[in-house]
Chains A and B, each alone.
Chain A
């Protein structure tokens, strides 16, 4: 049973359309359950983030399922055919699996390699499981998706370098100062961006946050958020002697930090390195400060340059990640194809083991009461063992070869009854690695109704 996906993302739809077609968290459980009742849908999954809404279904009739998903989305969100036609994409089979893997690995994200998507994928999976609309195929598929996403994160450099202003500030500080533990951050001004960067620096281990502002009260107020100290602007020079990273984001029209001041500061701090990140426009730090030994000044343009360089590095790493995803998707499709032969193998086993047992019983009966229990058990084991041995070769051939041909050939050669509609779903439960059996059963019954 192949996978089907319909959806829209930042690549196909602008924000105002995405807003309209999103499914907020509280509605998720009901929506999923409803998805599960669609006639052609056996298993279902729903991603809804600010950048994408995607509906996945496992179905024996993928074309029908895709139509049902599309109508479901139109009905639920009151979207017209024309709009959906413009923004929706549709993937079937291996393409759908690859898409799911790419999304989980953050290869389809707005910011390549961003880390949030993995958590969102996990919670979408958990919600679908809770709603009871996930069975064998999606369970396996999601396991593989999460595993390949982890592999991509650890084995490629797709998430290695910072691509937002506030994280780049941390990266630059690290490049100069190394470990940020026990370092001091000085925040000059009360801009939002400065605050965000300080938060990241704090998370990266910085021990102390100092804040200076024209208004001392505001400085103290902001410092409280970091467990730090707030001071008036007149303390700037003396506090720069203590700091290792200075983040400036004041609204001042003139430079707040000048080269002569920088010279005095660097002497007073015995030439320990100092990183200044100036995120103010107009700038707060005179660019000539960068000429002072062991002082490193970065303004908004520099930060953007780092972001561009890092995005480029991520793009390069994405090539390797795409390969990993494609390989994993192909493996998953192979597994899925093998599942087709499972009911045939089960039927084959059942029939031949039953035959062997019947023959053994006949022989035992002809021996009359002279057989003790031990011998009896041994005879039965022998019969079953022989049946299994004889079936080993055809079973292996079924698992290896083309599944469609294999099923037809096996049913003809071994005279098995033709597969029933629901038999596949039921047999799948017997197969190894079938979790959420109850859910699978539910989906199976509903499929027949």
Chain B
């Protein structure tokens, strides 16, 4: 059990270093620091992946099918997604918000013992449902972060405040297009997640988790509606910018609600 423990520690520590570097770069922009942050984050992601694989080997079960593993996988997906976005549009400022989010997810996952909470009867649908939900949530997480950044930068630009936000954040256009792309990725996954979730909920013993399931289902559909409105308004009426950013935040909050119910029930 020593190796996984060591990997857990090393992963967390490397993420923490990356977070410090991203924050330092936000305070005082320096190219070498931003570069170091990106490489550290990449290294942390590799450690994280090996940790999940080691867990898998030990438990002999798909690691993300319990709430502990699911949160940890979500954190990794978030990092991978952010690094992938960075290939097209480098946004070191976003790293300063993503990495603390990752650390928070890992801390919460530590409070949930492996193997807990999720009923096992659903068979093959369960891992599919969770995988869809996790990738989708990671995409919405990124959409959420850039939406918040959009609102903050837009406010600075409208109010003519030319400080750190003005200097460090990427352009509104970049933030808006990353937001759109992230939603385009997340939306079909959310749709499938809801469908598989419905099948999954039917299979398990409804009497135990009926209320929680209903709440989750409602929240998931609410999130779906938010994002559906974003996409539809964008395509048909050219909505962009502040309005889509606000809707994104609403959608992400609902999606997060689904996850939160898993945590408390």
Q: Which residues in A have some Cβ–Cβ distance to B below 8 Å?
A: 155, 157, 161, 172, 174-179, 270-273, 290, 293-294, 296, 298, 302, 305-306, 309-310, 313
Q: Write out the residue numbers on chain B whose beta carbons fall within 8 Å of the beta carbon of A293.
A: 241-243
Contacting residue for A271 out of B160, B162, B172, B240, CB 8 A: B240
Contact in complex: A272, B238 (CB < 8 Å): yes
CB within 8 Å for A294 and B241 given contacts A157-B29, A176-B157, A305-B160: yes
Known: A296-B158, A305-B162. A155 touches B31 (CB 8 A): yes
Taking the nearest CB of chain B, how far is it from the CB of A265, in angstroms?
Answer: 13
Let me know if B239 is at the binding interface, CB within 8 A.
yes
- A contact residues around B170 at 8 Å (CB): 178
**A172–B166 alpha-carbon span in the complex (Å):** 9
User: Do residues A298 and B241 form an inter-chain contact, with CB atoms below 8 A?
Assistant: no
Q: Which residues does chain A contribute within 8 Å of B30, judged by CB atoms?
A: 157
Pick the 7 closest A-B CB pairs, nearest first: A270-B238, A178-B173, A178-B171, A309-B162, A306-B162, A178-B174, A302-B160
Give the residue of A161, A178, A296 whose beta carbon is less than 8 angstroms from that of B157.
A296
In the assembled complex, which residues on chain B have CB atoms less than 8 Å from the CB atom of A294? 240-242
Expressed in whole angstroms, the minimum distance between the Cβ of A408 and any Cβ of chain B is 45
Report whether B158 and A271 are in contact in the complex, using a CB–CB cutoff of 8 Å. Answer: no
Q: Please, which residues of chain B bring their CB within 8 A of the CB of A155?
A: 31-32
Contacting A174 at CB < 8 Å: which of B171, B238, B243?
B171
Partner pick for A161 among B31, B32, B167, CB 8 A cutoff = B167
Answer yes or no: B1 CB below 8 A from chain A CBs.
no
> Apart from A175-B166, A271-B241, what 4 extra A-B contacts exist at CB < 8 Å?
A272-B240, A298-B160, A302-B160, A309-B167
- CB neighbours (8 Å) of A296 from chain B are 157-158
Distance (Å) between the CB of A71 and the closest chain B CB? 47
Which residues does chain A contribute within 8 Å of B166, judged by CB atoms?
175, 309
Which chain B residues lie closer than 8 Å to A178 at the CB level? 170-174, 177
Q: Are A177 and B242 in contact (CB under 8 A)?
A: no
CA gap between A306 and B157 in the complex, in Å: 11
B159 (CB) vs chain A CBs: closest residue: A290
Q: How far is the CA of A172 from the CA of B173 in the complex (A)?
A: 12
A-B contact pairs, 16 of them (CB 8 A): A161-B167, A175-B153, A176-B171, A177-B171, A177-B172, A178-B171, A270-B237, A271-B237, A271-B239, A271-B241, A272-B238, A273-B241, A294-B241, A296-B157, A296-B158, A298-B160
Contact partner of B238 among A176, A271, A290, A309, CB < 8 A? A271
Cα A155 to Cα B33 with chains together (Å) = 11
Let me know if B239 and A313 touch, CB within 8 A: no
| CA gap between A298 and B166 in the complex, in Å | 14
Query: CA A26 – CA B30 in complex, angstroms?
Result: 43
Q: Which residue of A lies closest to B158 (CB)?
A: A290
Taken residue by residue from 148 to 164, chain B's Cβ proximity to chain A (1 for < 8 Å, 0 otherwise) reads as 00000100011010110
